[in-house]
Structure 1
Amino acid sequence: MRDPQDVKAAVRALWGRARNEPGFVRTVRSAAAATLAYVVAVRLSDEPAPLTAPLTALLVVQVTLYSTLTTGIRRVTAVVVGVLIAVGFSVLVGLTWWSLGLIILASLVIGHAVRVSEFVPEVAISAMLVLGVSRVTDTAWDRVLETVIGALVGLLFNFVFAPPVWTRTAGDALEDLARRMRRLLLRIGEELSSATPVEDARARLQEARDLDHDIADVDAALRQAEESLRFNPRVREGLLNRVVLRTGLDTLEICTVVLRVLARTFTDLAHGRAADGAREGKDLFPPEAGRAVESMLGHVADALVSFAVLVTTPVSESAQAAEERLTAELLAAARGRATVGRLLRESTRHDAEHWFLYGALLTEVDRILAELDLEHRSQRLLEELDRNAREQRERSPRLTRLRTRAAHLRRRRRRPSPAVPAPRPRPAGTGGPDAGTRPAPGERAETGRGEG
């Protein structure tokens, strides 16, 4: 028999992996919300089996709160529009073959006009179901009520049990992409220490081209993470998190394109060696230059992973450590690039045929290092934050003015009140029990006239 502790550990590990899968989370949440919607609809609706409510909740509850809200609005809009179309047709015509075709056509056209997206067929379905019964008004009201119940239950379910934030999943996908790029660079560097056949160089080029599919997968995970940050009560700085992840993916995407060009450069070098019969079977670079290029590519590969870790690290202490590692790797890569440039310039004195490919190699490494530079990243973040703030102001000017006024009022409340100046002492000789205090205006005037 297996040890119970091992079984518990296996179950705990399986649950930990399952709860991080969007499909599993959506399945459990949708089932719970649909059941709850049916219980509520049975108490509020006159229908004996109000299945429209759990169906709506099943369609409304999504992986993220933002998608749940938008889906619920579109779903309710589609049902209401379909019911209104059916009520209008029931007043004018009955249910015949030509009226059925006309109502389907009208429903689909109006569904596209009101922009209910994937729920365009729902407009026609609602219209047909309502038009096909004898009591059109009662059925129409029941269907709208059940749809509203299902949508509200789905929305409240997501508000009470807020869905998880999928930034960790997007961050893992981003780091996996950086590690695949690192492995490719290391394989290219290892092949430089021996005679590289053209077939191997072309295989590395194909791997670099396949990274485009990985970019698409990371982009899908990042879009889901961005939606999970919107309207989520667990998140305070959703815009900053979205911008950090999105700009990180943009940087890695640019580096992927440059890496593909870099692999093409090595392929051209290998092809040039193979085309020259006297040099066929020789290394792509002189021995010392080849070792320097391999070391440089290793530092560039490590810098890519350090950059991805920096982008996806939320804790300040860990981010500081990741930033230090990235700075060290960039500095080492820059030094290696300088060494490679010097060695390649010396090698062109004896072998000037491929000088343009050597220059292309150095240019591509410079581009990757420039994209990973911390100052460049800081400037990119500031530009992206300014652009999002400007778009928000243009999209919602009234809300922006309200936020500005609220922030101004908060600053005024937090501002300390001005200190009250100390009273000036009265001149010597005025005496009196109130000596040292400020006299009343009338008293000052009478004293002045008496002295005069």
Structure 2
Amino acid sequence: MARDVRRLAAGRWAGREWAAVRRSVHSAFEESGPERDTLVQSLKAAAAAIIAWALTGWWLQAPMAFLAPWTAVALVSGTVYQSLRTGTQQFAIIALGTVWASAALAITHDQTMAAMLLTLPFMTLLGNYRRFGSQGILGASTALFVITYGSSSASTVGHRLLETLIGAVVGITVNALILPPVHLRSVRDRLRQLARNSANLLDTMAHGLREDSALERAESWHAEASRLTLSLQGVADARYWATEGARWNPGGRLRRTGPPPPPFAEDIRWGRVCTRILAVARTLNGIGDGDMGLPTPSPCFLVELSDVLEQAARVCAEEAEPPVSSPAAERREAAFDKAWTAHRTLADNFQQQKGTAAAVGGELVLETRQLLMELAPPP
């Protein structure tokens, strides 16, 4: 019985993974996005390795030709600047590992164990030096290859350095000249995804508030709103990649990059929007949690609150769509006007709240007002 359950779980897992792979492949061939970027960079890395091997293993007949494609693959990075920086770090640490290991072999008269004792502890420790970044481990790896190969002549050392240099040049050149990554689209995509997620959450809250058990799902709304604020880090990461992607990158002249990313002020604005949504969800969660002791406003007040949240969701949904036509802007403006109309109705209803429920209602009126003010289109 337990074995059948495990097989069923494994089959479901394999089905989900296969479905995810199919979606990724379809996206890579059908539309621009992260999947296509990954496909392009993977093919570029493979091409760089083939070119590096052709130069060193096939044409130069180098004794350790694998160093060239190994280096070339590692240098087809996410940005041209990163390729150059990583290439410098990698060549420096590989050159140091090669020279040090060759010197150790010469001193120990090609005794493998003695050369390892002289080389690996030092190179492993040096690999943690922050200036080498994530490439530090390659010093010890290269030294190990050199020692096990067992030759310390000057010509052999020169060949290893040349192979590494050829691989670095090939990897950097391929990454810089063949569809160089620019990452301008990522910021727009992340902001639109954030707007889309905000719209979905606001719409879910709006529909939930109209149900009889309106606040039973308030805890899940609060958790989802917390994840919204965490997703802002994805926007910050995309902004970092867009900035770094433009450094020393000929992509602006060699390929179409599309419009520039939205200004940084949009990141700040959406950060405030997510904070306001979280505040509304936190208050609703406090009402739904009996242990908090917060009084519940009248059902009529919650219905009118749902109208405000529904119109705010439509504003976010329109902002999640590419601004390709004036009707989209007109729909956003109409939803924004309806949101303010619904908010005025909510504020009027607040006047009818009594006792401690009025304090909770006032907090929700203030938080939704601030939310609509943050959703106002930039001047």
> Which residues in structure 2 correspond to 1:181-192 (within 5 Å)?
181-192=198-209
Q: Is the 8 A contact 1:270 1:284 kept in 2?
A: no
Q: Is the 8 A contact 2:176 2:251 kept in 1?
A: no
Q: In the aligned structure 1, how far is the partner of 2:143 from the partner of 2:325? A: 56
Corresponding residue for 1:36?
Answer: 51
Q: Is the 8 A contact 1:286 1:347 kept in 2?
A: no
Corresponding residue for 1:160?
Answer: 177
Give the CA RMSD over aligned residues.
Answer: 3.5
Q: Is the 8 A contact 1:182 1:301 kept in 2?
A: yes
Corresponding residue for 1:333?
Answer: 339
Q: In the aligned structure 2, how far is the partner of 1:70 from the partner of 1:247? A: 30
Corresponding residue for 2:288?
Answer: 270
Q: Is the 8 A contact 1:18 1:24 kept in 2?
A: no
Unaligned runs of 5+ in 1: 1-10, 379-452
2:313 equivalent among 296, 301, 304: 301
Q: In the aligned structure 2, how far is the partner of 1:255 from the partner of 1:154? A: 42
Q: In the aligned structure 1, how far is the partner of 2:199 from the partner of 2:285? A: 18
Q: Is the 8 A contact 1:198 1:274 kept in 2?
A: no
Q: Is the 8 A contact 2:57 2:66 kept in 1?
A: no
How far does residue 319 in structure 1 lie from its aligned partner after superposition?
Answer: 8.0
Could you say what secondary structure the match of 2:128 adopts? helix
Q: In the aligned structure 2, how far is the partner of 1:325 from the partner of 1:147? A: 58
Corresponding residue for 1:63?
Answer: 78
Bigger Cα displacement from structure 2, 179-188 vs 290-299: 290-299
Q: Is the 8 A contact 1:255 1:368 kept in 2?
A: yes
Q: Determine whether 1:16 maps to 2:61.
A: no
> Which residues in structure 2 correspond to 1:228-239 (within 5 Å)?
228-235=245-252
How far does residue 373 in structure 1 lie from its aligned partner after superposition?
Answer: 3.7
**Cα–Cα, structure 1 residues 12 and 115, in superposed 2: closer, same or farther, change >3 Å?**
closer
Q: Which has the larger radius of gyration?
A: 1
Could you say what secondary structure the match of 1:28 adopts? helix
Q: Is the 8 A contact 1:60 1:68 kept in 2?
A: yes
Equivalences, count: 349
Corresponding residue for 1:343?
Answer: 349
Q: Determine whether 1:194 maps to 2:211.
A: yes
How far does residue 266 in structure 1 lie from its aligned partner after superposition?
Answer: 1.3
Q: Is the 8 A contact 2:52 2:170 kept in 1?
A: yes
How far does residue 19 in structure 1 lie from its aligned partner after superposition?
Answer: 7.3
How far does residue 35 in structure 1 lie from its aligned partner after superposition?
Answer: 0.6
Corresponding residue for 2:129?
Answer: 113
Q: In the aligned structure 1, how far is the partner of 2:147 from the partner of 2:241? A: 39
Corresponding residue for 1:366?
Answer: 369
Q: Is the 8 A contact 1:222 1:245 kept in 2?
A: no
**Cα–Cα, structure 1 residues 114 and 27, in superposed 2: closer, same or farther, change >3 Å?**
same
How far does residue 185 in structure 1 lie from its aligned partner after superposition?
Answer: 0.9
Unaligned runs of 5+ in 2: 1-24
Q: In the aligned structure 2, how far is the partner of 1:233 from the partner of 1:208? A: 40
Q: Determine whether 1:76 maps to 2:91.
A: yes
Corresponding residue for 1:260?
Answer: 278
**Cα–Cα, structure 1 residues 147 and 114, in superposed 2: closer, same or farther, change >3 Å?**
farther
Q: In the aligned structure 2, how far is the partner of 1:177 from the partner of 1:366? A: 20
Corresponding residue for 2:15?
Answer: none
Q: Determine whether 1:203 maps to 2:220.
A: yes
Q: In the aligned structure 2, how far is the partner of 1:148 from the partner of 1:293? A: 65
Task: Calculate percent identity across the aligned residue pairs.
Answer: 24
- Structure 1 stretches of 4+ with a deviation exceeding 6 A read 11-14, 273-276
